Structures are given as C-alpha cells and as structure tokens.
A and B are shown apart, each in its own frame.
Chain A
Amino acid sequence: MQDRPRTLRWINRRPDRAISFLLVIIPFVLVFLAYTIGSEARLAVNPADKLLPAPTQIMETAERLITEADKRSGKILFWSDTAASLSRLARGVAIAAGIALAFGLIIGILPYARTMLSPFVNVLSMIPPLAILPILFILLGLGETSKVALIAIGITPFLIRDLAQRVAELPTEQIVKAQTLGASSFAIGLRVALPQALPRLLGSLRLSLGPAWLFLIAAEAVAADAGLGYRIFLVRRYLAMDVILTYVIWITLLAFLLDLALRLISRHAFPWAEEGL
C-alpha cells in the first residue's frame, strides 16, 4: 500500500537558515516601514513637524550627537551621558548581585536562615521600588548614591528569591553525598552550592537588566545632571524627538549588548551548565 504523502505538522516544521534570517528581520523591517510611512505622511502635511522626524534626520542628529562636543563643557554629552549611566547601572547591579549571592546561598542551604529571612525577603520584594525613590533622595541626597541604591534595591529581592530557590532545588543526593565526604556546612555552601548558583545568577541578572534600566532612567529623570535618562527627559521640553529616538535606540542597543555579554560569559565560564541555560 502506498503511503499517502503527508504534510508535516506545524509543530515539527523548522525554518532553515535563510528563512530564519528572513523571519528575524521581518518585524524590524515592518516597524521601520510603518514609522517611515507615518513620518512621511506627517511631514508632507507640515514640513516643520517634530513628532515623527524622518529616519535621515535621526541619522544626522545621531551623528551630530556622537561627534560634536558641547559648547559649554567641551565634552561630547552623548558619551559622558553613556558613561554616567553605565557606571550607575554597573554599580547598582554589582551590589545587588553580591548581596543576592550571599543571602541566596544562606537562605537556600540553612533552614534557620530560610525560616527567618525568606518571608522577610518576600515582603521586601512586594515594595514597589519607585515608591521609595523619594525616601532615597531624602536620605541619600540627590547624588549618585541614591540612584545606585534604587537600582540595587529594585532588583535585589528578586535575585535573592531566585538564587535561594535554585540552591534549595539542588538534588538532596548531592548535599547528602557531600556530607558523607565529611564536608562542613560552609564547605557545602562554598564548593557545592556556590558554583552551581553562579550560572543561575548570571541568568537572573539577564532578566534583571530590564528592571535595572527602568530604575536607572526613572532616577535620572527625577534628579541628575548627566545620564541617558536625564538627557531624554531634558530634551523632551523642546520636543526634540530626533534626540530622544537616538537615545532610545542607543539604550536598546546597550541593553542588547549587555545581555549578549552575560550570555557569552556564562557559556564560557560554566561549560558544564550548558544545557541548563
């Protein structure tokens, strides 16, 4: 009997390389086209329209922003803004990661710490970080500290919970095995739990970068004298959409690159966790 030629189920069909590439760029191209059409339509009606600047104009603005120094300070603001923002982000995220690693580990392996701290961290994570931004400004001043603190406070509870969960999920077999090899609680934390928590930390950091940017830009919008978020909210007064869009695209690109960097680091540093990522 001849088999009826059957088409594959859609769940079993996979795009090949060329088609994949096409599929990836289609949404980007569509958005770009939609924007261009909208922009042209508006500019046709009113050539002085500022809401949807033409892509060419954004390019020009971007070039000017990247290369031309500010007349008053002599610095290229685009780069000094980037440096200011990235440094705040890095400090906030680093502090959060350090705290989360320490607390995540002890909550994950010590029942006493879990009983005492787990509900507390859960409650902390319910506090909307932006709601306490004014408190941070009052307590820590309008300088760098309060912005770094907002980022750290904003993402730490999530990181702690995630790591504690991950450590608690380590197979009991491993923990028991370590005990039968004579390991102390500390040795189990250091040599069994910590190394296995690290790839998860990088993974959760990747997820936290979105919120981290949010808190950074919010803090900069409220009070700052430099930074990507500060600049966006500053030029908003002049309806400088071309500048805003340039900055937004740049922030998106930075976020993408940071994510990529974290992914590469974890793939290189933790080859044994390959399939877990």
Chain B
Amino acid sequence: MSFVEVERVSQSYDRRPILDRVSMSAKEGEFISIVGASGCGKSTFLRLLLAQEQPTRGRITIAGARPAREPGPDRGVVFQRYSVFPHMSVRQNLVAASALGANFFGCLFGAKRKAAQKTADDTLERIGLAHVAHAYPSALSGGMQQRLAIAQALMARPKILLLDEPFGALDPGTRITMHEFLMELRRETGMTVFMVTHDLGEGFKLGDRVLVFDKPRWDPVDPNAIGATITYDFDARDSGIPFQRLQEKTHVPIEA
C-alpha cells in the first residue's frame, strides 16, 4: 500500500460539488505538484489532506494510519500568507514550533527550553535567517517569511508537507532561491510533499509528478453541477521529458 492513499474522495459545500471522486496515491518521498484553474478545488484538496476538513465521501490515509479527524503534527503546512506567528520574533517562532506541541500548555522551561533554543539557532543559521533572529515577521521580506514558515513547519517532523502556493507572492528571483532552498531541505529530509502552484514551470521543476485538477465534463445547464477531479497525472521527473527511464525490468545490464 502506498504512503498516501486518496480513495474516491468527494467534497461538496452546500450540496455544490467541488471535488468529485478524486483518487490518487503517492509513494513516500514523492514530490507532487498540483495545478489547475482558479477555484477548481486545489486548496480544498490540500485542506482534506491536512484533515482540516472531512471529505463528504471517500477516505484519505497516510502511512497506513486511520484517517485523521483534525490537523496534527504528522502533517506540516505552509500557506501563501499568515503561516508564521506575527507576535513572535523569528527565533521565537522556531522555538514555539518545538514548544507548542511539547505539552498541554505549549511552553517549555529549563533544559528543554535551552535545547529548543539551540535547535532554533542552528536552524536559523542553516536557513540564513540568523541575522534577523530577533526581528518580527512583519519586518521580513516575503521570501524570508516563507523560508521561516517552511522551516517552522519542518520542526515538527511531519510525515507529509503541504504547500499552498507558497511562492505565489514572491518575485521571480526570490522564487528561484526558494526552489533551491526547498529542494535542499527535501534532499535532507526525504519528505513527501504536496505543492499547489499556478506556475507550471515551477510545478514541473520541483515535482516528481504534476497533477492537473479540472472538471472532467461540463454540464451545459449548470456549470457548478460537476466537481473537479484529477484529469492528468504527469511524470515530471527528468525535467518532464517522458520515456527517459526504463519502464520494465529487462534483466539486461545497462552499460554505464
């Protein structure tokens, strides 16, 4: 069984179908880009993966666990905005990432606090935000804020990372730096990632697969009558150029 298993998931709001029988599966460590027209339900799909909402029908399992009923530390998330806590400094945001889930009060004291601060400082160093450790997020550039948000999400060591247009508000140059940042983190952690994007290039560059969400049919009477589903599932490895790998085991040794 695959790591992430989405089985015939449908979601309706007020009886208006948004997603209609979406099925897919992902292997551990796969990077899955999701593209599609605005309003077709990509964010809804991420919310379902996140267990922020329950599907009207169908089920989603991750690592064979029972379907989650609320968001938890096994799923990390970064939104386009508002993903970090504005009232905490950069460093406090990272310390809080360890502290919030540590106990009922979400506070750490003594040696544990020291350890969390140490981890936070190491992380800051690694993601290149050490020089703004004591600034508040509102003082950071968009790229820095998203770097912080991603690092913060990874502190909880989630099984899957969900990104909803994480670089949508960034300029093209910063975007490319962020791609490198994300790919590096991914190489280190081997994380399974779902990323919604409006940038096809970005989707193919980062993803192992690119899923396209769209309505399979159009109802000429009521355009809202039919929900979206996955209409294409591209292999995006090897820069999206197909037939670069052997599909079958040929038992013939390949010469290097």
Is there a chain A Cβ closer than 8 Å to B91's Cβ? no
- Look across to chain B and name the residue whose beta carbon is closest to the beta carbon of A187: B106
Q: Give the 4 A-B residue pairs with the shortest CB-CB distance, closest first.
A: A182-B101, A187-B106, A173-B82, A183-B100
Q: Besides the contacts A176-B52, A187-B106, what 18 more A-B pairs have beta carbons closer than 8 Å?
A: A173-B83, A174-B82, A174-B85, A177-B77, A177-B152, A180-B76, A181-B101, A182-B72, A182-B101, A186-B104, A187-B101, A187-B103, A187-B107, A188-B106, A190-B105, A190-B106, A270-B87, A273-B86
B 71-115 contacts with A by CB, 8 A:
71-73, 75-77, 79, 81-88, 96-97, 99-107
Which B positions have Cβ atoms within 8 angstroms of A? 50, 52, 70-73, 75-77, 79, 81-88, 96-97, 99-107, 136-138, 149, 152-153, 155-156, 158
Is there a chain B Cβ closer than 8 Å to A191's Cβ? yes
The reply to whether B82 and A191 form a contact with Cβ atoms under 8 Å apart is no
The reply to whether B75 and A184 form a contact with Cβ atoms under 8 Å apart is no
Is there a chain B Cβ closer than 8 Å to A195's Cβ? yes
The reply to whether A180 and B105 form a contact with Cβ atoms under 8 Å apart is no
B101 to chain A, nearest CB (A): 2
| Chain B CB within 10 Å, residue with most, of A180, A187, A192, A270 | A180
Residues of A within 8 A of B84 (CB): 177
The reply to whether B73 and A173 form a contact with Cβ atoms under 8 Å apart is no
Residues of A within 8 A of B76 (CB): 180
Residues of B within 8 A of A179 (CB): 70-72
Q: How far is the CA of A271 from the CA of B105 in the complex (A)?
A: 24
Is there a chain B Cβ closer than 8 Å to A16's Cβ? no
Q: A181-B73, A183-B101 are in contact. Are A191 and B106 (CB under 8 A)?
A: yes
Is there a chain B Cβ closer than 8 Å to A171's Cβ? yes
The reply to whether A187 and B77 form a contact with Cβ atoms under 8 Å apart is no
Residues of A within 8 A of B152 (CB): 177, 181
Residues of A within 8 A of B77 (CB): 176-177, 180
Residues of B within 8 A of A270 (CB): 87
Q: How far is the CA of A180 from the CA of B163 in the complex (A)?
A: 13
The reply to whether A272 and B79 form a contact with Cβ atoms under 8 Å apart is no
Q: At the interface, is chain A mostly helix, strand, loop or mixed?
A: helix
Is there a chain B Cβ closer than 8 Å to A196's Cβ? yes
The reply to whether A181 and B97 form a contact with Cβ atoms under 8 Å apart is yes
Residues of A within 8 A of B79 (CB): 173, 177
The reply to whether B106 and A186 form a contact with Cβ atoms under 8 Å apart is yes
Is there a chain B Cβ closer than 8 Å to A255's Cβ? no
Residues of B within 8 A of A178 (CB): 85, 100
Q: How far is the CA of A82 from the CA of B158 in the complex (A)?
A: 59
Q: How far is the CA of A277 from the CA of B158 in the complex (A)?
A: 36
The reply to whether A187 and B100 form a contact with Cβ atoms under 8 Å apart is yes
Q: How far is the CA of A152 from the CA of B156 in the complex (A)?
A: 43
Q: How far is the CA of A195 from the CA of B72 in the complex (A)?
A: 22
Q: A186-B105, A272-B136, A275-B138 are in contact. Are A180 and B82 (CB under 8 A)?
A: no
| Chain B CB within 10 Å, residue with most, of A171, A182, A196, A275 | A182
Residues of B within 8 A of A272 (CB): 86-88, 136-138
A185 to chain B, nearest CB (A): 9
Q: How far is the CA of A190 from the CA of B77 in the complex (A)?
A: 21
The reply to whether B86 and A182 form a contact with Cβ atoms under 8 Å apart is no
The reply to whether A191 and B52 form a contact with Cβ atoms under 8 Å apart is no
A 234-277 contacts with B by CB, 8 A:
270-275
The reply to whether B105 and A181 form a contact with Cβ atoms under 8 Å apart is no
The reply to whether B136 and A192 form a contact with Cβ atoms under 8 Å apart is no
